[in-house]
Structure formats: C-alpha cells, structure tokens
Structure 1
Amino acid sequence: MKSSDLTGKVHLLLTKGKLPEDWRGNGAQPLRTVFEDAGYTTELTLCNDPEAIKDRIKSACTAGDIVAVGGGDGTINAVLDTVIAQKVVLIPIPLGTANDFARTLTLPDDLIDAARAAIHGQIRMLDIGSVNEKSFVNAASIGVPADARKRINPDLKRTLGAISYAVANWQSWHEMDPLDLTITCGDEEPQAMKLRQVTITNGRYFGGGLRPSETKSPEDGLLHMFAIRDSVDTLSGLDIAAELLFGSVDDSSYATTMQCDTIKVEGEKGAPILADGEIIGELPALFSIHAGILPVFAPNSFVDQIEGTDSTGNKTLPQRNEINDVMRDTVDFALRLEAIYPVAQNAELKALCHDSAGNLRSIARQLELGLRPYGINAASPDPDLQNLEELRDKVMGWLLGNADTRLANGLKARADLLTREIAAISQDKLPSDVADPVKALATEIDHFNGNLGYIIKEL
C-alpha cells in the first residue's frame, strides 16, 4: 500500500474502559487534534471491547482509511485479520498493559507522542504470524507462559501492570510439568525434546518487553523460536530471564533457538497456546509466517532506511539504520542501569549505574535534538518494563549470593553491543550535531566499560 492510496480519513477507535480519565469528558480531543493537525478528517468511536472495534472497521471503514486502535496487544491481535481484509492502515495507540507491538514499532509510551510519531511516519507492510490459521503479531507460546496466563490475577494486573506477568510465570515455572514435544523447523528433521517452554516470535518484543533476538524484525519473513529444556533449573532460568531482558537468547547455553518460515509442534495434545497475551488454541500446532500483509503507519525511528530521501521530505542522513539502533539501545541501556541501581548491593556498581544512567540520558537528549531535522524520533520505553526488571533483579538478589556479578555481566554484554554499533558508524560522514553526541557516547561507554571491568574483577 502507498501513501497515495490513503483516503485522508482517520477512524479513532478507543477501548472505552482503558481511556484516560481526563479524556472521557473531552472526547479524547488532544488525540484527535494530533491527526487533525496532520491534515486528516478524524472520527472518534468509543468501543466496549475488541469485537466492537472489529464491527466498526467492517461497517464504517473503506480501503485506504486509517484506523487508530486504542488498546493492548490482545486488542491488536483481535483486529489483525479485519484490518487486512478491509485494506485499512493500522496505527496502534498503546492503551494496554504490555504494548509489545507498539514497542516493536518504537512508539513512545505517551499516547500523544505515539500518535504524532506514527502519523508523521511511513506506511510499512509487516509480517504476521499464524498458528493453526489464527493470527498473531508478537509471539505465541506453549508451556510456562500459557500456563501463567491462566494464573494472572486481574486485580494484580490492573494495579501492577507487567509485574503480574512475572509473578504468574514464577508460579508456573515451579508448579507445571515439562512437556514432551516434537518440533520440526521448515524442512529439517523433527527434534523430540522435553521442554518447559516454546516461544515463537514475529515481532521484536513479547511478554512485557522481553527481546528474544537482537536481529528479529517483523519484516524479515521468518519466525524465531526459542525453547527452554526441562533440565534448566531455577537459577539457570533466571539467567535466561536476564538474557531476554539484557540482550537475546540467540547464543544462550540454556535455550535452543531456530529460525524458519514454518514450525510444527506436536505432542501433549490439548496443551494451550498463548498468543499476544490471550489463549487462542491448543496443540498440535502449525506455525507459519505471512510476509508483508499488515499495513501500518510506523514512526521514522522504525524505518530501516540507510540512505535516500524519505517521503516526509526530511533531510537525508547516512547510515540512518545504524544510528537508529544506537539511539534506541542508548535509551534502553540507560533504563537498565536505572533499574539495577536500586537493587545492586555493591557500592561501586550502584554508583556506576547511577552516574552512567544520567550521562547516557543527557547524551541521548543531545542526539535526539540532532536527529530531529532528519525525521528520526526517539522511542520511550514503557515504564512497566522498568518495574518488571526491578522485580526480576530482586528475585535474583534474594536467591543468589553472586547476583551483582550476574547483573554486571549482563551490563557488560549490553555495553559491548553499543560499542560495536558505534564502531560501525562512520562518524566523519555525519553532520556535527549528530557526530558530536555519537563521539560523546563512545567516550562514555568506553569509560563505563573500564570501570565495570574493574568492578567485575573485584566481585
């Protein structure tokens, strides 16, 4: 779909129960204004549930309309097939608990900023995963996550957000029996395994901010799978949790990973399948990928564009994709430092996390200002992600005498990733308002690594 296919109309479809309190009396006017200022005729409908949103898309929308859907990942999952069938363009408004789809698109957690970043972005055709012909946009899981979904306390979910997922997963990890499964990836030979969990992802994030792979994209035409064997004990399970939070499981010694376009999972007939936060089926299961079928308006920070003039008329910037990665991971790293600071026991590690987080935030702001003329908007991580990390870090602290060492090693992996990303940028080709913050970032990460190396030796 092209921008020329758009009708110039936005249907703002918001889940009534999740609407901010101060918007209920003004018809969500601040949000409507964002789309109207961008030149679109905007029509607001408050809906009771995802079914009502689907019905509205079918009855009121025509091909080329934009549907700005307010809800969480479950709501996005519910409307996927309708959006595709009606040939409308989706903008997610993050009103849910986890908002992993919005996070994959690098949308800020603030509703106004998210709408503004999306409507001034570009149309992208994203992949959609399916399991037994039912669609999912983020991930589908068998085992612990599916069992945990049944354990989530609705009151706890409302008050604590993503922390409720961590509590339920912790219970399932200890109480449910491993599954005897046979997994076939594409044309490869079937593998029989005894597993605690199988997760198959299409998006970059799942489960409230977990990131299974550094390279996974909803535009790569592949499914990414990771499986946790039954032999992984509680302490190693915490290592996997840290890998999902601080990097990826691609090179994990505790998880088995695969990438292909179809994945068959057999055994344990009737075991539930969780997709985008909801139970949508049961085993046996056939997972497949449908490439480039979901039209979305994605922010320029999501766009994988290295050089060339974009459709917004912004200035061109060399190595745009590499700079996107550095910008995203700098903010991400600062957030992780802030999450670790209150739970670290070692005084030097606490001080390093505190000081470096502030420095990285400052550099990120400078870099954001330098990137604005090029149409690259910084994404703000969801606040629930920090809460989730703090909870898991505390669990590590309660159970492990060497929790600081594990946390420090996780930070080392993230710092090394940023070092590699910065090294891949030819700074002499950048304008000074972008090159200067990148140089400052390189210096800060080098300083951080030096101090962290000393702390790891001491620990």
Structure 2
Amino acid sequence: MRTKQRLTEDIHRDRRAVLVVNTHSRRGRLLYEGARSRLLGAGFDLIASYSVEKPRHLEETLIRARESGADLVVAGGGDGTISTAARMMAHRENALGLLPLGTTNNFARTVRVPIDLDEAIRTLVEGKVVDVDLGLAGDMPFTNHVGVGLSAAVMNAAPPPLKRVAGRWAYPMTGLALLFGHRPMRVVVRADGREHEFRTHQLYVANGGFHAGRPITKDADADDRLLIAYPVGGEGRFGLLRETARNATLGHRRTLGDDPFLAVGELWLETGRPAPVEVDGEPCGSTPMRIGLDANALRVMAPADSIDR
C-alpha cells in the first residue's frame, strides 16, 4: 500500500478520479453536472462519473468506483451518502474525496472540507491525504454518530420534501412533532470499568466533531481515538428542548471535560427496554449494542494544513 504522502503526490500529478453523486440527496440532483464540469475544469481525469438516483444502487456503484484504478473516489451527497462511501472505502489504498451536498454535512465539517462546492473541489486539488477514525456500531462502520431514542424516530419520520425545503431544520421540526408522544428511557453506558446511568429521551455516541451541522465541542474530531457519549436532557421533555438549544448554540465553547460528555475508546450501551438505533441517519438494529472505534480506517482528502495523527 502506498504511503499517504505518495498517494497525495499521485493525486496531484495524475488527478485520476471517479465521481459518484447521490442525485437523490437534497442538492445532488441540482449540482451533479456542475460538480462534474468543475472537476474536469480543475484538470481531473474522470475515469467514470455516476449519477445515482436510487439509494439501493449506491453501494454497488461505490464498489465499482473503488475498483476502477482511480487514486481518488469523489463522493457527493449528504451524510448518509458519505457514510456509505466511507464504509465502502475503509482500509483501501485509494482516498475518498468529499463534495458536501446534503442537509447538515457533519463529516465534511469534521474533516474541515468546505461546504461551498468550489472550495471543496479546491481541497481535492490542493489538499492532502489523511487518516481518520471510523466508529463501529456492532460491526457497522460509521462516520458521525449513533443515536438512541427520539432521533431514531425522527430519522424514520422526517419527510423528504420537508428536508429539501427546510434543510437541517427539518429534523428538529419533526422531532418537536414527535416529542410529546415519546417516552423517556433508562440508558446504561459501561466503559473503562465504570457504569453510567441516565434517564433521557435521547443519547448520542459521536465519532466526529459535528452534529446537526453544529459543533459538539471545540476539541472533538474524527482522528482523536475517542467516542463521545452524551445524553440530551433528562426525562423531562422540556429539558430535551433546552439541552438541544444549548448544544446548538454553545457547542463551539464546550470541551470534552464538561458534563455530560463521556469520552472513551469503547463502550457498551443498553436500555431498560430495547430501543431502536440509528447510525448516521439510517436504522441499525436496536439496543443493547457495543460501540467501538476502527482507528485510522479511512483515507480522506482534506485541507493541506490538516493535522494528521
């Protein structure tokens, strides 16, 4: 396997790439042709380009892309698309390039890829290959988070038309509609020989540094060998609303040492009654569940000044 430096040099020199865009995503359908023309204008040799309209075809398309011989597989779409691309590209020699075309673009924000399309392509041209961690929900790799509680219900209920119109605000709007019928859970997190118990409507385990398009804390990233477990509020519904607003507005000021964050390398999660789990916005079984890390599992094209541990 080539070193990251050698792969970076090969991408800069040859610019051999494959483009895969989920045109079912919020902006993918509108921006596919623009992304393709911009990549060609930036000097990339596109071995192939794919417009994927049906999500069930995304994995097989990404497999074709990674086996194409291209040094760089460029994935365009939202967090679900990028998470799928990360799973398909984990432990591969070629690198994943990101075009953030979704609603919240959490993973792109975590690895500091600009949300603006032209700036994201500039990162592909001028950036470097870095290694980042993936989380493991059971045996399912993930880029951003595991959610237990209300978020799993929201992900199943958020209407696609609302997501297209309201963007990232579609999720809190749907959550508010579901909240008053939601029951709190007893959640137990076991990690580092200790047991932590919560009564809450929602618990997240994050791998990256962003959730809902906002910073979780100012010192979390996707290459720190840490998972961040945290409940959002207690058993009261208004506490959930208050803590959601607090997290959204103060995340950039908080640190991993603050309550209620638990930063660990691995944990066991269980609930008083089995609860559905969502992983990066997709249903993924139910509790109990082991959640761990796959360190340095993914090669990503990131800004040239990125720290690479």
TM more than 0.5? yes
| Counterparts of 1:34 and 1:65, CA distance in 2 | 16
In the other structure, the counterpart of 1:304 is 307
Shift of 1:48: 2.4
Q: TM-score, normalised by structure 2?
A: 0.85
Task: Name structure 1 gaps, 5 residues minimum.
Answer: 306-459
1:47 aligned residue (49, 52, 76): 52
Q: Is the 8 A contact 2:21 2:50 kept in 1?
A: yes
In the other structure, the counterpart of 1:31 is 39
Which has the greater radius of gyration?
Answer: 1
Match runs of 1:55-204 below 5 Å: 55-60=60-65, 61-62=67-68, 65-185=71-191, 187-204=192-209
| Counterparts of 2:149 and 2:170, CA distance in 1 | 17
| One-letter amino acid of the counterpart of residue 90, structure 1 | L
| Counterparts of 2:62 and 2:30, CA distance in 1 | 25
Q: Is the 8 A contact 1:196 1:230 kept in 2?
A: yes
Q: Which has the higher strand share?
A: 2
Q: Which has the higher helix share?
A: 1
Specify whether residues 155 and 64 from structure 1 end up closer, same or farther in structure 2 by C-alpha distance, changes over 3 A only.
closer
- Within the alignment, does 1:270 sit opposite 2:274 as a pair? yes
In the other structure, the counterpart of 2:216 is 212
- Within the alignment, does 1:223 sit opposite 2:238 as a pair? no
Q: Is the 8 A contact 1:62 1:86 kept in 2?
A: no
Specify whether residues 216 and 134 from structure 1 end up closer, same or farther in structure 2 by C-alpha distance, changes over 3 A only.
same
In the other structure, the counterpart of 1:284 is 288
In the other structure, the counterpart of 1:14 is 21
Q: Number of residue pairs matched?
A: 297
Provide, for residues 139-187 of structure 1, a one-character-per-residue CA deviation record: whole Å limited to 9, x for no partner.
11111211222221222111111111111222343321111122102x2
SS at 1:161's partner residue? helix
In the other structure, the counterpart of 1:4 is 6
Task: Name structure 2 gaps, 5 residues minimum.
Answer: none
Q: Is the 8 A contact 1:240 1:249 kept in 2?
A: no
SS at 1:44's partner residue? strand
| One-letter amino acid of the counterpart of residue 257, structure 1 | F
Specify whether residues 31 and 269 from structure 1 end up closer, same or farther in structure 2 by C-alpha distance, changes over 3 A only.
farther
Specify whether residues 212 and 126 from structure 1 end up closer, same or farther in structure 2 by C-alpha distance, changes over 3 A only.
same
| Counterparts of 2:276 and 2:93, CA distance in 1 | 31
| One-letter amino acid of the counterpart of residue 271, structure 1 | A
| One-letter amino acid of the counterpart of residue 40, structure 2 | R
Specify whether residues 269 and 14 from structure 1 end up closer, same or farther in structure 2 by C-alpha distance, changes over 3 A only.
same
Q: TM-score, normalised by structure 1?
A: 0.59
| Counterparts of 2:188 and 2:75, CA distance in 1 | 38
SS at 1:97's partner residue? coil
Shift of 1:17: 3.7
SS at 1:128's partner residue? strand
SS at 1:87's partner residue? coil
Task: Between the two structures, name the one with larger relative contact order (CA 8 Å, sep ≥ 6).
Answer: 2
Q: Which moved more, 1:161-170 or 1:50-59?
A: 50-59
SS at 1:162's partner residue? helix
| Counterparts of 1:15 and 1:288, CA distance in 2 | 28
Match runs of 1:242-281 below 5 Å: 242-247=246-251, 250=255, 256-281=260-285
Provide, for residues 88-116 of structure 1, a one-character-per-residue CA deviation record: whole Å limited to 9, x for no partner.
21011111111111111222222122111
Q: CA RMSD in A?
A: 2.6
| Counterparts of 1:81 and 1:104, CA distance in 2 | 17
Specify whether residues 143 and 3 from structure 1 end up closer, same or farther in structure 2 by C-alpha distance, changes over 3 A only.
same
Q: Percent of aligned positions with the same letter in both sequences?
A: 22
